[in-house]
């Protein structure tokens, strides 16, 4: 099931001002869709231009809810019990590609020291 929510946000590529953004969540993924010409559309000069910019992959768990809390902040419920707050400008730039490899939890380092053991 997909979850959708509109809000004002910055994205990885569109940082100059807050834009109208649609957050689309399904499975483990959130994709941001940015309306880049809202003022021209509201003035009747152009059709809306929607660009996909920024995605987030939740490591190993499904996203069950997705809402904008405020500008550039997404509230998500993961695995029906965990809550995460995400800053949209920190999403991976561009459009989601199913072949994209998310971080593997088994290969992540425990601390900042590269000599630390893996999880």
Q: What is the pLDDT of residues 38-71, one digit of tens each?
A: 889 889 999 989 999 999 999 878 999 999 999 9
Return the pLDDT at 19.
Answer: 95
From CA 95, how far away is CA 56, in angstroms rounded?
Answer: 10
Closest among 71, 73, 66 to 28, alpha carbons compared: 66
Q: Give pTM, 2 decimals.
A: 0.77
Residue 108: pLDDT above 50? no
Q: What's residue 110's pLDDT?
A: 43
Per-residue model confidence (pLDDT) at position 65: 94
Is the pLDDT confidence value at 104 over 90? no
For the stretch 6-42, pLDDT in tens is 999 999 999 999 999 999 999 999 999 999 998 898 8
Nearest Cα to Cα of residue 47 among 56, 35, 59, 58? 35
pLDDT attached to residue 51: 93
């Amino acid at each position: 099931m997909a979850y959708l929510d509109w809000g004002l946000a910055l994205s990885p590529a569109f940082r100059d001002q807050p834009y109208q953004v649609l957050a689309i969540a399904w499975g483990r993924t959130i994709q941001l869709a940015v309306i880049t010409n809202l003022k021209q559309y509201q003035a009747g000069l152009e059709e809306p231009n929607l660009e996909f910019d920024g995605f987030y992959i939740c490591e190993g768990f499904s996203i069950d809810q997705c809402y904008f809390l405020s500008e550039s902040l997404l509230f998500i419920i993961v695995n029906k019990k965990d809550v995460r707050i995400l800053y949209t400008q920190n999403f991976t730039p561009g459009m989601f590609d199913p072949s994209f490899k998310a971080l593997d939890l088994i290969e992540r380092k425990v601390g900042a020291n590269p000599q630390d053991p893996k999880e």
